[in-house]
Amino acid sequence: MTNTKLFLKGLLSATALTALSAGTAFAGGTTAGTTVTNTFTLDYNVGTTPQTQVTGDTPTTFVVDRLIDVNVAPNAGTSVAPSAQDQPLSFTLTNEGNDDQGYVLTAANVAAGDDFDASNLVISYVVDTNGDGINNDGAPVVYNGTSTPDIAPDQIVFVTIEGDIPAATQGQTSDITLLAETAVTGGSGTLVTEDTDGNDNAAVENVFADAAGDVTGDVAEDGSHSATNTYTVSTADITAEKLVSIFAEVPNATNDCAIIPGTPAPQTNDQDDQYAIPGACVEYTITATNTGAAAANSIDIADTLPDNLTFVAASATGFLDGASAPAGSFTTLPTANQDCFATPCVVEYTGGELQDGSGTPTTGVVTIRAILASSKP
Ligand SMILES: [Ca+2]
Ligand SMILES: [Ca+2]
Ligand SMILES: [Ca+2]
Ligand SMILES: [Ca+2]
């Protein structure tokens, strides 16, 4: 055979295999209930003389039994914030048998080996109806105990468990199991049972082939399978401090109280130091720091200035969104030179964010300048 012929033969074999696979290859094999019939012929010679062919009286027949095999696998775990509601954990359920089946689903907390339990566990699912292995097949169905996902051999179901997270701390985990028990289709929730009295060639009998799973009691070949997925708490850890200093005892063009950050007056020794005398420019800084792994957002800093001050200016730095653009704004601000005795001086910065500070702490600062009143309030 020439090399060209060998190549063509290879191509043809591959094509033939592909065509066969597309039509009939299930993980569980030939579909349950298929009737398999066979006959034979026997030819023989006596001496050199061919004799009449012998054939069987009737073809042999059997029906293919029902392989019950299900697999539950967790997808990536979920990072959650303390006290967050309706947090999803996702699993993939596959019918590895050779007939359509429904599945009774159970979500449960693992009692030991983790740090907390999630509450209000709710199961929903999406059947991969278009068979592309992607959860793009419409709205989830909330599982209510009888709304079983009914799927064909080799088909998969995307199952999501949603739970509420308690006030846990950074790095704490919660393990949740999903158990799928094989049932008949149609939503009755009736579990299938295994045939125990040996094979009848004329009957479609249930044969269990599932593995043992994570849930206690989920042993091999019991018609069920289970797996575990994990919530991990990722939280912000915010601290804040407020400091006050005298920016300039006698503010002037060089040490302009209204320019932030500007140039503070010298604070080198007692002689040059800046004292809190009437007319001095006072600077408050409120510094917020995140040392946690999660971003903190909706940060709201409010400060009502003492009534013996006159507001001058305020600014904020360091509160950045995920793309390092400024996050937040002053939603309440006194007018420049507002007398805080006559009108309360409320400074409020709203909507600030501090990103993941677990490596390097992230910091935001609100700076407020005011003049110490020259007259008694
Ligand atoms: Ca637990
Ligand atoms: Ca899909
Ligand atoms: Ca049988
Ligand atoms: Ca099992």
- Is 215 in contact with 73 (CB distance < 8 Å)? no
Instruction: Note the pLDDT of residue 70.
Output: 98
Do 86 and 226 belong to one domain? yes
Q: What are phi and psi of 218, to 5 degrees?
A: -85, 85
Ligand of minimum distance to the alpha carbon of 173: 1
223/108 same-domain check: yes
Nearest ligand to the C-alpha of residue 228?
1
Residue 263 Cα to ligand 4 midpoint, Å, equals 73
One pLDDT digit (tens) per residue for the chain, 377 residues: 334 333 333 333 333 333 333 334 556 688 999 999 998 889 999 999 999 989 877 888 999 999 999 999 999 999 999 999 999 999 999 999 999 999 999 999 999 999 999 999 999 999 999 999 999 999 999 999 889 999 999 999 999 999 999 999 999 999 999 999 999 999 999 999 999 999 999 999 999 999 999 999 999 999 999 999 999 999 999 999 999 999 999 999 999 999 999 999 987 766 668 889 999 999 999 999 999 989 999 999 999 999 999 999 999 999 999 878 999 999 999 999 999 999 999 999 999 999 999 899 999 999 999 999 876 65
Question: Residue 224 C-alpha to ligand 3 middle, in angstroms?
Answer: 21
Backbone angles phi, psi at 10, to 5 degrees: -60, -45
- Whether residue 34 is contained in a domain is answered as no
Structural domain containing residue 95 = 67-195+202-233
Asked whether residue 206 is domain-assigned, the answer is: yes
Q: Are 135 and 126 in contact (CB under 8 A)?
A: yes
Residues 225 and 108 in one domain: yes
- 243 and 221, same domain (yes or no): no
Residue 215 sits in a domain of what CATH number? 2.60.40.10
User: In sequence order, which residues have a C-beta less than 8 Å from that of residue 306 and are 6 or more positions away?
Assistant: 340
CA distance 162 to 283: 48
- DSSP strand E in 128-255: where? 141-142, 150-151, 156-164, 173-183, 206-208, 224-233, 238-248
Phi-psi sector, 268: left (phi>0), alpha (psi -120 to 50), beta: alpha
Ligand 3 centroid to Cα of residue 314, in Å, is 83
Question: What pLDDT does 314 receive?
Answer: 98
pLDDT at 4: 37
Domain-ending residue, one of 233, 255, 287: 233
In whole angstroms, what is the distance from residue 373 CA to residue 205 CA?
A: 94
Q: In angstroms, what is the span from residue 147 Cα to ligand 3's centroid?
A: 30
Measure 144 CA to ligand 2 centroid, in angstroms: 22
In eight-state DSSP terms, residue 140 is P
* CA 328 – CA 326 distance, rounded (Å): 7
* CATH at 354: 2.60.40
Total residues belonging to the chain:
377
| Closest ligand by atom to 63 CA | 3
Check whether residue 311 and residue 226 sit in a common domain: no
Judge whether 31 lies within some domain.
Answer: no
Dist. CA 177 → ligand 1 center (Å): 10
Residues 105 and 229 in one domain: yes
Final residue of a structural domain among 216, 233, 250 = 233
Number of domains in the chain: 2
How many angstroms separate the alpha carbon of residue 110 from the centre of ligand 1? 4
State whether 263 and 229 are in the same domain: no
Closest-approaching ligand to the CA atom of 70? 4
Q: Report how far ligand 3's centroid is from the alpha carbon of 205 (Å).
A: 5
Q: How far is the CA of 192 from the centre of ligand 3 (A)?
A: 15
Give residue 75 CA to ligand 1 midpoint distance, Å.
Answer: 18
Q: Does one domain contain both 133 and 177?
A: yes
- Contact present, 311 and 345 (Cβ < 8 Å): yes
Mark whether 242 and 305 lie in a shared domain: yes
Q: Which residues hold their Cβ within 5 A of ligand 3, which is an ion?
A: 65, 199-200, 203, 205
> How far away, in angstroms, is 207 Cα from ligand 4 center?
13
Calpha distance 235→63 (Å, rounded): 58
Residues measured by CB to lie within 5 Å of ligand 2, the ion:
128, 130, 132, 134, 136-137
Q: With respect to residue 267, please indicate whether it lies within any of the assigned structural domains.
A: yes
Same domain, 215 and 264: no
| Strand (E) or helix (H) holding 367 | strand 362-372
Looking at 233, 255, 288, which one is the last position of a domain?
A: 233
Tell me how far apart the alpha carbons of residues 18 and 236 are, in angstroms, rounded to a whole number: 53
Residue 33 in any domain: the answer is: no
Residues 212, 357, single domain; the answer is: no
143 domain-assigned:
yes
The verdict on 250 and 219 lying in the same domain is no
Cα–Cα distance measured from residue 224 to residue 93, given in angstroms and rounded to the nearest whole number: 11
Say which ligand is closest to the CA of 179: 4
Residue 200 Cα to ligand 3 middle (Å): 4
Q: Does residue 304 sit within a domain? A: yes
Closest ligand (CA of 64): 3
Write the DSSP string, 1-31: --HHHHHHHHHHHHHHHHHHHHHH--TT-SP
Give a yes or no: residue 310 inside a domain.
yes
Nearest to 334 by CA among 323, 321, 347, 322: 347
358: tokens are: 């677990």
- Cα–Cα dist 180/279, whole Å: 75
